[in-house]
Amino acid sequence: MTNFSELNISESTLRSVKRMGFEEATPIQEGTITFAMEGRDVLGQAQTGTGKTAAFGIPLIEKIDPKNQNVQALIIAPTRELAIQVSEEIYKIGYDKRVKLLAVYGGQEIGRQIRALKNRPQIIIGTPGRIQDHINRRTLKLDDVQTLVLDEADEMLNMGFIDDINAILENVPETRQTLLFSATMPPAIRKIAETFMRNPEVVKIKAKELTMENIEQYFVKATEREKFDALSRLLDVQKPELAIVFGRTKRRVDELSQALGLRGFLAEGIHGDLSQAKRLSVLRQFKEGKIDILIATDVAARGLDISGVSHVYNFDIPQDPESYVHRIGRTGRAGKSGVAVTFVTPREMGYLRIVEETTKKRMTPLRPPTSEEALVGLQETAMQTLIELVQNNDLGDYRRLAAQLLENNEALDLVAAALKSITKEPDATPVTITEERPLPMRRDGRSGGGGGRGRNDRGGRSGDRRRSGDRDRGGRSGGGDRRRSGDRDRRDGGRRDSGDRRPRRRDDSK
């Protein structure tokens, strides 16, 4: 690995990078920074979680002239969440250079952005629709742009932003440097590279977290009615440090988050119908470990990169293998092991086989624990809690109280009572989970359909995830879950302290 100090970057940027905790460059960072510092265009193929924001952020910051008050760099991202996250990281990288930046995206009042643009930011990070809106209003001038970044270009293509991107590129000087990043390289992305880039250097990185070698994969065969109790008992037994539960629809996410809350788990849901403030709040709590379980639709979670996810539960099996790989790729990162559990109804077993054929890995069948087995798991957690309290040796006045209790009670009975009082026994609180129809059978009689997309919870096909009327233009925020593309994130901090990492119940979270 190459140290950042070997990459010929300035002292101010090096200070910022060290403050962020970076010392050695990842492969995408080393390749991109080396070429970009030489002024070359770069075509980077890398998944989320490989450090690509710093890969383009460092050379971009290096090129900024602090004395020039015009927009010198433009970063285009597919969703508002990613735009916000990228702006946060670029701000940290450019902190010692006092670089001014601004994120512009739909869902935020445009007048506020117009006023902020008058403060002369040097870097703009934004979504395609809103950037194009500002260009049309002549509130954003790009004549001085020296660096253009297209982040997650394939995702922007999938979301139907290709026309906006082409229009934006026509408004940026031809002499600029272009850095394009994409997890895949379909023909349309290659065409953009051929049309708008000059002999780009290709930096191709295969993300280790998607090899799935360090992810244990299981499936639970269960009917719709059995799935929730099986999930609840698995959470009790497996005690995930931090878990993501995937549901097929927004209704499913809402019902699961409410049901897990009723069972005492610290869980919250996230999908495209939530307000922007609520989604960011949930993500922040998840990142900081204030909630242990995030329930999400595919789109809301696409691009999430939160460290410490130990378990992924597919409450509903996805229709296409690509979604499965993206889902379980949320765990087993940075060399750590992960666990993925997929619930499959009897009629959907064909989809399981297609996923296995695509990933070239068989899933291990898993029998969900019984209530008695779940209780044993919770009792073991209670025992461990008591042992840790004793080892911490911070019992103070409780020793005196214990001595008083021992005068009239047996020690064995007292310990048993203590264990019983802190054991969160399996909760059987009634919950409401609406049964979803099984995925459609293929015409050849198998359930399956490797390349097809599922149905969204409005009842229509989600197709190629084109915009549903809310293309982040002019602040409109209605539309289907596919467009909202949820919350892609480069989150990598804020875990709670070590110790008991089980999914905490609401009454022991103080």
Cβ(379)–Cβ(416) under 8 Å?
no
Quote the pLDDT of residue 119.
Answer: 93
CATH 3.40.50.300 positions along the chain are 2-206, 209-369+431-508
Quote the pLDDT of residue 357.
Answer: 82
Report the sign of the C-alpha dihedral through residues 127, 130, 134, 135, in that order.
positive
Q: Which residues of the chain have pLDDT under 50?
A: 207-211, 442-502, 505-510
Q: Which CATH superfamily is domain 2-206 in?
A: P-loop containing nucleotide triphosphate hydrolases (3.40.50.300)
Tell me the CB-side half-sphere exposure of residue 151, using CA atoms within 13 A.
32
> What's the token pair of residue 394?
């911070």
Quote the pLDDT of residue 305.
Answer: 56
- CA–CA gap between residue 281 and residue 276 (Å, rounded): 9
- CA–CA gap between residue 464 and residue 461 (Å, rounded): 9
Cβ(155)–Cβ(134) under 8 Å?
no
Task: In the chain, count H helices and then E strands.
Answer: 19, 16
pTM over 0.75: no
CATH no. for 209-369+431-508: 3.40.50.300
- Which residues are CB-contacts of 250 (< 8 A; sequence separation ≥ 6)? 271, 272, 273, 297, 457, 481
> What's the token pair of residue 241?
């440090």
Quote the pLDDT of residue 445.
Answer: 38
Quote the pLDDT of residue 395.
Answer: 86
Alpha helices, H only, 11-138: 11-19, 27-37, 52-63, 80-93, 110-117, 128-137
List, as one string, the DSSP characters of 48-64: TTS-HHHHHHHHHHHH-
